[in-house]
A and B are shown apart, each in its own frame.
Chain A
Amino acid sequence: METRKWTFHPCGNYRERYDQELTVFETDFGRLWAVLGLVLLFGAVPFASSPYFIHILNMTGIAAVAAVGLNILVGYTGQISLGHGAFVGVGAYAAAVLATRWNVPFLAAVPAAGLVAAAVGMVFGIPSGRLKGLYLTIATLAGQFIIEYVLVHWESVTQGTMGITVPRAEILGWSIGSDRSFFYAIYLVLAGMIWMAVNLMRTRYGRALVAIRDNDRAAEGMGIPVFPYKLLAFGISSFYAGVAGALWAYYLVSITAEPFNMGLSVEYIAMVIIGGMGNMAGAVFGAVFITGLNEILRFVTEVVMNMGLLSEYGLNIAPLREFTFGLAIVLFILLEPRGLAEVWRIVRSSFRLWPFSY
């Protein structure tokens, strides 16, 4: 039996076999860090942080699930979608309806909500069979408005503007109501979803999606059925959105259609772009960045309000949030279009190569 050789330092890009190209971790160093990170995340973080901070972490985790899904569609398949927020809404409502009407348990409701959202997402992905680029973007925009309308007006199911109150989540008779136990639920799901996404991209399906992004005509010429694969990408990304929405519904207990608007869709796209398109870690970075930015802005406006400055303007968080948010998107696109993931890579390699710059 061949003994496994531990590698801690990569020596260039020399590869002999295809499976070396496909490895998730290039060195065991990365593997070690990943394990350490997971241990810290689950073992230390929930106990070391205040309830408020855990709440922020939970919202970040939910956003990250949705962003990873959107990254599959936007970053890997090259289809711009402005309707992701609505699909999250579909997932949230699906979970809420399943839980209240049919008493579906938490463990079944979350994936079921994902499937419902995937089905809806694939319906709105049908235009991708005929359209590309700009036109597809507009089609998903229309999807956003139509879904929003349905969520508000299909009152027999969604209870209109009243919203739905979701029962407390239970796993095998074990109630998870507190922020801390939800932290475990959300981050276990997130870890599983990232694991799935990373590995999906290493399969023939993932490679086909990347091929479509890079050059769809060449992909078609190589025998990839472009339209089914595009639909598949829509389905997968909406599945992620649906799972995120279901977690959202269970975590926040009561849902209305209001938060699932165009602004949320833009927020998700911003996460993907700011984090780095076509990079799984990037989607998580983006989720952390945007949720963190929101919290910091909320804090800043509160401080400013308490100091009594600007009070005659009736300043509230909305304008400041909106402005900073737009500014962040614009600056990232202009200065670092490959996002935080690229920044992280540069930092890492400058440590590794120190004291040489190359």
Chain B
Amino acid sequence: MDFFLHLLVSGLSIGFLYGLSALGFVMIFKSSSVLNFAHGELLAMGAFLFLALVTWAELPIALAFLLTLAGCFFLGFVIERLFLRPLIGEPLIFVIMLTVGLASMFKGLLLFIWGGNLHTYPDFLPEWIGITLGNISVPPVYTAVLAVGTVFLILFGLFFKFSSQGIYMRSVADNQRAALSLGVHVKRVFALSWAIAALVAGMSGIVLGVINGINVHDLSAIGLKVFPVVILGGLDSIGGAILGGIIIGLLETFTGGYLSPSLKDVVPYIALVVILMVKPYGLFGLKEIERV
């Protein structure tokens, strides 16, 4: 029973992390229908920026955190302006391959500066925010993640529901041309959505770095884990991303715990194929897939 509970808790927390890392991905898809294969590298960019600010520049944690978020926001903006704007209206494969190329570029850059080794942040979380439930203790990192994640989640939900920019984003994702003709500034929406997505990615990168340490290869692998998560939740649903993340996280830990540790890494993708065959638009996605 303890083993089960242990798996449950670690599955839930890993799943929540997956969901959180998927947020930025969903953000980009929701506003521009672009699948971002460079998402893992965006996470890594945020994590390493924070690392640089904390260890090299030795800034206080709070300031470094805010500066990282600002830096990621700017980075997303630059990426959109330099690489994605020229591709508005081009065929899908070019956009997908562009993000694949960007992923490769970023990864090379990060490897060049930091190498492929594991780095860690200095300890900065106080012990008292950890929770102990009977035999199972939840480390402080996870409670902090839960708090930060929930705040971001609520903020984004409100942003998309009520703010004018959020509504523009949804309209652009739904139909670019119609949005244009109704006077939505589509270019600004794209720029903003990439900037916000990079910001969210940076935040998730820091969180992942605090928990598992920062390593270019691991973080970019998370970028590929995001696909099963968002397909399960529905590509354009924020709540779906979180729920999908939790389901995939649980699936992964239980497979790892009860079946075989090596199967753990591939089971999300098996689930992905099954989901695509059975319910391609996911749990909460819009049913807009065309059947052939």
Contact = CB atoms under 8 A, between A and B. Distances in A.
Please say whether chains A and B are actual partners in one complex: yes
B210 interface: no
B105 A330 contact: yes
A129 interface: yes
Nearest to A216: B292
Contacts of B92: 80, 133-134
A321 B111 CA distance: 11
B280 A135 contact: yes
Contacts of A277: 93
B115 A320 contact: no
Interface residues of B, number: 46
Interface of B is mostly: helix
A139 B108 contact: no
B104 A323 contact: yes
Contacts of A141: 224, 227, 269
A5 B269 CA distance: 59
Nearest to A212: B292
A146 B101 contact: no
Contact of A142 (B97, B111, B262, B269): B269
Interface in A258-280: 262, 266, 269-270, 273, 277
B181 to A, nearest CB: 24
Interface stretch (B15-23, B44-52, B83-91, B138-146): B83-91
B107 A322 contact: yes
Given A130-B280, A142-B270, A145-B266, A320 B98 contact: no
Interface in B20-70: 33, 35
A115 interface: no
A74 B269 contact: no
B100 A329 contact: yes
Interface stretch (B170-178, B186-194, B271-279): B271-279
A126 B103 CA distance: 28
Interface residues of A, number: 54
A266 B291 CA distance: 27
Max chain A Cβ within 10 angstroms of own Cβ: one of B263, B290, B292: B292
Interface in B74-125: 83, 86-87, 90, 92-94, 96-98, 100-109, 111-112, 115-116
A270 B115 CA distance: 25
A68 to B, nearest CB: 17
B97 A262 contact: no
Interface string A119-146: 0000000111111111101110111011
A130 B291 contact: yes
Max chain B Cβ within 10 angstroms of own Cβ: one of A146, A273, A329: A329
B35 A137 contact: yes
Given A139-B273, A149-B265, A333-B97, A325 B224 contact: no
Contacts of A128: 292
Contacts of B101: 270, 325-330, 333
B105 A270 contact: no
Interface in B188-224: 224
A104 B83 CA distance: 50
Contacts of B241: none
Contact of B273 (A127, A262, A273, A325): A127
B154 interface: no
B228 A142 contact: yes
Nearest to A227: B292
Nearest to A328: B101
Interface in A288-318: 313-315, 318
Max chain A Cβ within 10 angstroms of own Cβ: one of B104, B106, B265, B266: B104
16 contacts: A131-B280, A132-B290, A132-B292, A134-B96, A137-B96, A138-B276, A141-B269, A142-B272, A145-B224, A146-B269, A321-B108, A323-B109, A326-B107, A329-B98, A329-B104, A334-B87
Given A333-B98, A337-B94, 5 more contacts: A78-B93, A320-B108, A322-B104, A322-B111, A326-B104
Interface of B: 33, 35, 83, 86-87, 90, 92-94, 96-98, 100-109, 111-112, 115-116, 224, 227-228, 231, 235, 262-263, 265-266, 269-270, 272-273, 276-277, 280, 289-292
